[in-house]
Amino acid sequence: MTKLWHIALHDLRVTFTEKGIWLNLVVIPIVLIFIIGVVNGGFGGNGGTVWVRVDVFDYDQSALSAQFLDELRAVNANLALCPMEDDEENVCRYEDEAAMQTMSEEHAERRVANNVVNAVLVIPEGFGAAALNGQPVNLLYRSEEQPGLPGLALQAVQTAAQRMGAATVAARVGVDVYENSGLPVRFAEESEREAFQQAVYDRAGAIWNGLTETVRYTQSIPQESSGNSGFSQSIPGMGSMYVMFTVLAGTFILLQERKQWTLQRLIMMPVARWQVTGGKMLARFIMGMVQYGVAFSFGALVLGVPFGNSPVALLLVMMSFVTCMTALAFLLATFVRNEMQASSVVTLLALTLAPLGGAWWPLEVVPEWMRTVGHLSPVAWAMDGFSTLIYRGGGIADVIVPVVVLFAAAAVIFFFALRRFRYD
């Protein structure tokens, strides 16, 4: 065992004397963590709320259009209906006060195209009267969403429209039944008819809301990490990607040492072959843990991002992923024949498995089938573990599945690598 450690320490000394090691190990990962974190909402300063912004143009300005907007707010408290709900923190993301005052539909559509807001909703003139009289009315909704994947804003609009549609039908039917009931009492004036219709509408809406328990939710990040949600994604994500680059670089080392006959000379010495192989792999494992240490230390000490309440569980997720990548580096060394092949394969794997597994963006934002495919990547299992610890305050028991999957994958990969590996 001592010989194994000596081999690993020798490899680490050689690695840390290489030019550019600190650039690749520290500087570039930290810069990418910061940039990706900011892009994904770091320093958002929104108190932790994940807003769904909708530019609203209410040309009707009726009681019914106001009720429709209230229903939207009730369906999803994360909706920011602009400009009505803009605040001192500029939730609606207006360039300035003049931009808010002169906002047009064309400008709003550009804001959607530039991902400033999620959607534009236009309530046409005559909306309230048409709805109460049973006439068709079209709400205009524009967004960049895929047709088959309605976003939160569209779902809220559809739900509110469904509820309002049911209430208006009830109001219209109620008036018709009253007027055709044969009773001697009739509406003396049109205002009485409208008041009765509004009363039936209000009563129908109250009954509709009371039929079932309605799930109304807000989406937020933990209070202690408010404003750092982007970094909570980018730190484990970019950290995992650079762990792949760092650990898979072991493929180059094994190729070079075989080519330079270093491995062959080692096995001629009084050192067991498993000690030689184990020492090489241990060095890459330690490098991977150092890479994670750089990423998470930067997040905790510089950015102030909390990483859950279980350091042991966090360490287990890191160790399982680094072990899996170490095994993969060992296996790759049995397939590639030169440094150029190794460079191409390592780059391809890292830049494919990282985004596929949710290192660049959360898998929650992709379709269900993409989440399934994404879990072919070890990165996805690691990110599942990190997300459980960071966002949901999980512990060791909550990350058992991803940890076991990664260790099991590492064992299988090591098995095939050992069967294929040759020292000559």
Give yes or no for residue 314 having a pLDDT over 90: yes
In contact, 112 and 118? CB cutoff 8 Å: yes
Tell me what percent of the residues of the chain surpass a pLDDT of 90.
Answer: 18
Distance CA 175, CA 163 (A): 19
Distance CA 232, CA 299 (A): 8
In contact, 227 and 44? CB cutoff 8 Å: yes
| pLDDT at res. 381 | 94
Total number of residues shown for the chain: 424
Radius of gyration in angstroms for the set of CA atoms belonging to the chain, rounded to a whole number:
30
More confident residue, 55 or 135: 55
Contact residues for 196 (Cβ-Cβ < 8 A; gap 6+)? 174, 175, 178, 187
Fill in the DSSP letter of residue 83: T
Fill in the DSSP letter of residue 220: B
The winner for highest mean pLDDT among 13-27, 258-272, 281-295 is 281-295
pLDDT in tens, 265-288: 555 565 656 576 777 788 889 999
pLDDT in tens, 326-350: 999 888 888 877 778 877 888 888 8
Distance CA 93, CA 285 (A): 45
| pLDDT at res. 42 | 56
Tell me what percent of the residues of the chain surpass a pLDDT of 70.
Answer: 71
**β partners of residue 57:** 122
In contact, 79 and 72? CB cutoff 8 Å: yes
In contact, 423 and 263? CB cutoff 8 Å: yes
CA distances from 60 to 50, 63, 106, 143, 206 (A): 29, 9, 19, 21, 23
More confident residue, 269 or 36: 36
Of 390, 361, 275, the C-alpha closest to 39 is: 361
pLDDT in tens, 41-55: 555 544 445 678 899
- The model carries a pTM of 0.58
Contact residues for 89 (Cβ-Cβ < 8 A; gap 6+)? 45, 46, 47
Mean pLDDT in residue range 215-243: 66
How many beta carbons lie within 10 A of that of residue 242, not counting itself? 26
Per the prediction, the chain carries an average pLDDT of 77
Q: Give the confidence band of 222 by pLDDT, cuts at 50, 70, 90.
A: very low
Pairing of strands 140-143, 79-82: unpaired
Residue 150 has phi, psi (to 5 degrees) of: -65, 135
Mean pLDDT in residue range 195-209: 60
Mean pLDDT in residue range 27-41: 81
Distance CA 322, CA 308 (A): 20
More confident residue, 44 or 200: 200
